[in-house]
Amino acid sequence: MFSSLWSYLTSLFPSSSSASSTVRVSPSINIIAASQTGTALTYAATLQSTLTPLFPHTKTTQTINDDADIHIFILATTGDGETPDTFKATFQQIQENKEIQAQELTYAIFGLGNSTYNKFNACAKNVDGMLQKKGSTRIGEVGLGDDNGV
Ligand SMILES: Cc1cc2nc3c(=O)[nH]c(=O)nc-3n(C[C@H](O)[C@H](O)[C@H](O)COP(=O)(O)O)c2cc1C
């Protein structure tokens, strides 16, 4: 499924393959992963090491960072359409708009899910819904990764 994530991201940043010659100002990127069984964390680590040579100001954190130009969410869904435990505090932070000005966020979002579940990619869809409601700016469409391979 990482190839889906990478295809998704290269469609959002089409100049990244020639970034050294075309990107003049490097945005700061904050990768936030929500994982129950580790896949999203592995993807976040791979993404961090892939993006850092192109965009040196790339970090992986657990929270919204007001200083970041772009947030990239990699969000698994667990249980019956539930938010992974490690992301619950950030989910609440976005929901309640505490300590963040969500309307200022520019973000991309990629969900990890499985289409055999009724609530396919619910976490990514819910977070996107909250951010859209607050007036944040999404880059591209919501990416919907599927374990089921369809
Ligand atoms: C117990 C369990 C419940 C899951 N529930 C859902 C779900 O409700 N919706 C969905 O789209 N995917 C669901 N999945 C699929 C996971 O989101 C998918 O396997 C994902 O890659 C796991 O990422 P993680 O290892 O970072 O937690 C579930 C997987 C497991 C093991």
Q: Does ligand 1 have an atom closer than 6 angstroms to the CB of 149?
A: no
Q: Does ligand 1 have an atom closer than 6 angstroms to the CB of 118?
A: no
The ranges assigned to domains in the chain are 2-8+27-146
pTM of the model: 0.88
Chain-centroid distance of CA 28 in Å reads 14
DSSP codes of every residue in 77-125: -BTTTBPPGGGHHHHHHHHHT-S--GGG-EEEEEEEE-TTSTTTTHHHH
Which atom of ligand 1 is closest in space to residue 35's alpha carbon? 26
pLDDT in tens, 11-55: 766 554 444 445 457 899 999 999 999 999 999 999 999 999 999
Give the list of residues 6+ apart from residue 145 with CB closer than 8 angstroms, or none: 1, 4, 5, 110, 111, 112, 113, 121
CATH (one of 3.40.50.2300, 2.120.10.30, 3.90.1010.10, 3.40.50.360) for 2-8+27-146: 3.40.50.360
> Ligand 1 atom 9: the closest Cα is on which residue?
120
For the cut 80, the answer to whether the pLDDT of residue 129 exceeds it is yes
Centre of ligand 1 to C-alpha 18, Å, is 35
